[in-house]
Amino acid sequence: MVGGHIVADGSLANLEGLWYARNIKSLPFAMKAVDPTIVAGKTDWELSNMSTKEIMDLVEANGDKIDEIKAKSARGGKNLDKLGKWLVPQTKHYSWLKAADIIGIGLDQVIPVPVDSNYRMDINELEKIVRELASTETPILGIVGVVGSTEEGAVDGINEIAELVDCKINPNAVRTKKISFL
Ligand SMILES: Cc1ncc(COP(=O)(O)O)c(C=O)c1O
């Protein structure tokens, strides 16, 4: 996704980021509830792993049903338990937990990813967690890369995280599971 929105502070930015992810990732389930033919043949796992573009294209193509779709989405309080895990570096700012609480996905969905000796998110540990979740078909709502952590000013390897998102790391194992997250 390309774009941005400047907000008043970090906590609000985190809350807004998680809110966007929650809403977008709930749309496939909402479309299925409104008109199953929109996402015909997709399993829950496949619905959880549609890309943002795929989702938004379908929403656009079904603009006449947008109010019904919204009502059946996370914005209507639906399917919050199906959205999956939110992965953040172990050094996570407590605003992530507050955000998960406020938007209703629950604190249990936030998974801390171990950091390396430079306090950056350990990309190997991240990949391990992604694989473990995929092996049990547990969806990933999103992965957070921090550019300047609160205590250490550590900058996570955003490129490496993006590569993992693009399934460039060990493509076979990741691709076969068709994982997609924000
Ligand atoms: C990574 C991170 N997220 C969120 C926050 C919260 O920011 P604020 O205090 O502006 O709400 C901070 C604050 O230092 C931070 O470092």
pTM of the model: 0.88
Using the mean position of ligand 1's atoms as its centre, give its distance from the Cα of residue 35 in Å: 41
Burial (CB < 10 A; 0-12, 13-18, 19+), residue 78, is middle
Using the mean position of ligand 1's atoms as its centre, give its distance from the Cα of residue 28 in Å: 31
Q: Token pair 């890309």 is at which residue?
A: 51
Query: Which amino acid residue places its CA nearest to atom 8 of ligand 1?
Result: 10
Query: Which amino acid residue places its CA nearest to atom 4 of ligand 1?
Result: 10
What residues flank ligand 1, with Cβ below 6 Å?
9-11, 14, 93, 95, 146, 149-150
What string of pLDDT tens digits covers the 182 residues of the chain? 567 888 899 999 999 999 999 999 999 999 999 999 999 999 999 999 998 999 999 999 999 999 999 999 999 999 999 999 999 999 888 999 999 999 999 999 999 999 999 999 999 999 999 989 988 999 999 999 999 888 899 999 998 888 887 654 444 445 445 556 66
Looking from the CA of residue 10, the nearest atom of ligand 1 is: 7
Using the mean position of ligand 1's atoms as its centre, give its distance from the Cα of residue 61 in Å: 38
Angle (CA) 8 5 12, round 5°? 40
Give domain limits for the chain. 10-175
Using the mean position of ligand 1's atoms as its centre, give its distance from the Cα of residue 93 in Å: 6
